[in-house]
Every structure is written in C-alpha cells, then in structure tokens.
Amino acid sequence: MCGRMALTLPKEAMVELFAATPANNLPEVPNYNICPTNQVHGVTSEGGARRIRSMRWGLLPPWYKTPSAGPLLINARAETVAEKPAFREAIRARRCLVPADGFYEWSKDAEDNRLPWFVHRADGAPMVFGGLWQEWQGEGGGVATLAIVTLAAEGKMASVHQRQPLVLAPEDWPLWLGEAGKGAALLMKTPPEGTLDLYRVDREVNSNRASGPQLLEPLEG
C-alpha cells in the first residue's frame, strides 16, 4: 500500500516536469512526512491543459455527508478499482498523477516492532504514482480529493509489504491522464525489476508528527 510519503521537488521543477500550470494554493515543499488527509500535489489534464492542484489525500465519494462519514480511502486496489462504487467513475474519467520522492513502508521484526523503510526510484528520478480524483461537495464548497492506485508487490517490495503503489514512467503519463486515448488499464502493472530500491530509515518516522530531512537518511548499520 502507500500510507506515507515524502516530496522535496520544488514547485518550479514540478511545473517543468509535467508541463503543467500550478494552482496558487499548492502544499508547501519540502515535506518529509506526508500523511493521509494532508494536502498533496495532484496533476490533472482538464480541457486539454495540465494543472497541478492541491488535493486532499483520501478520496471522498459524493455520498459522504462529512469527510469522516465512511472509511478513509487513501488507496484503490487495481484489481477492483473499476468495480468499487467509490472509485469506478473516477478511474474512468478522472485520473491523476501524484509526484513524490518516494514512500515509506513498514516491516516487523521478531518482537513485532514496526521497522520503517523508504522506497524510491533506483535512478534517483522523482517517483510518480497513478491516482484518481473526485471533487467532493461539502458545506464549505468543493474539495478536490484523491486516492493512489495499488498493486500486488513484486521483487524487493514483496519482502517488506504485500502491496505497492502504481508507479508510472514519463512515457505513460499521457495515457494515464487520458491525453493519449483509451487503454490506461494496461498501465496497471508493477514497473520493471530494478526500477525501485529501498533502505531502512530511523523509527522516528513511525510518528506522523515527525518532520525534517533526517527522516530520509539511511539507517546506519
């Protein structure tokens, strides 16, 4: 799954990377510990133009009366995303890209302690997740929300967790965003072996209140 991530890419770099127009209310970067319900950067293609928007991480279906009216939907399983009522319309019509440096995942030792890992692209490039989004109408107006698509983990990731987020290569972005026609379902697969790498980080990141660049430092020893 994907339940925590980090992003240090400056706004200007994201604008260039995605050839997109940024909104005025984008979340601040760097953020080394992005948690569910935080605002994240969502890249959309609307009316033939790409935009970088601020979106709540945790999709809110239209029938939620309040943000806490149902389960927190931060991830959408690729195997069932086209069938689940909360996701099936969005996966067809409202897909997005979610940039990150990488994400955190946890394994457990023999004493059941949670051991954090940081997963990143082996080539050092930004990681871009495939997501879907929904504009939710609350009492205060519209709120853009998103979920990240996940798959069964393979390779190194499978030794840490059974799920991993959908990671898209730059050549796949137009198809995922609907700019290159139909067939985005074909992209819902794990990247080639060797695309991702991971290393242990300090257990400080187990707290959702932790912050700072030290969270990304490899654990010595």
Domain ranges in the chain? Answer: 5-216
Lowest-pLDDT choice from 35-44, 82-91, 151-160: 151-160
Give the pLDDT confidence of 123-161 residue by residue, as tens digits: 999 999 999 999 999 877 899 999 999 999 998 899 899
Q: Can you give the pTM of this predicted structure?
A: 0.96
pLDDT of 221 > 70? The answer is no
pLDDT for residue 181 is more than 70:
yes
164-172: average pLDDT? 97
Whether residue 1 has pLDDT greater than 80 = no
Checking if the pLDDT of 78 tops 80, the result is yes
Burial state string for 33-64 with b = 16 or more CB within 10 A and e = fewer than 16: bbbbebbbbbbbbeeeebbbbbbbbbbbbeeb
Strand partners, 193: none
Paired sense of beta strands 141-152 and 49-57, if any = parallel
**CATH (one of 3.20.20.70, 1.10.150.20, 3.30.70.890, 3.90.1680.10) for 5-216:** 3.90.1680.10
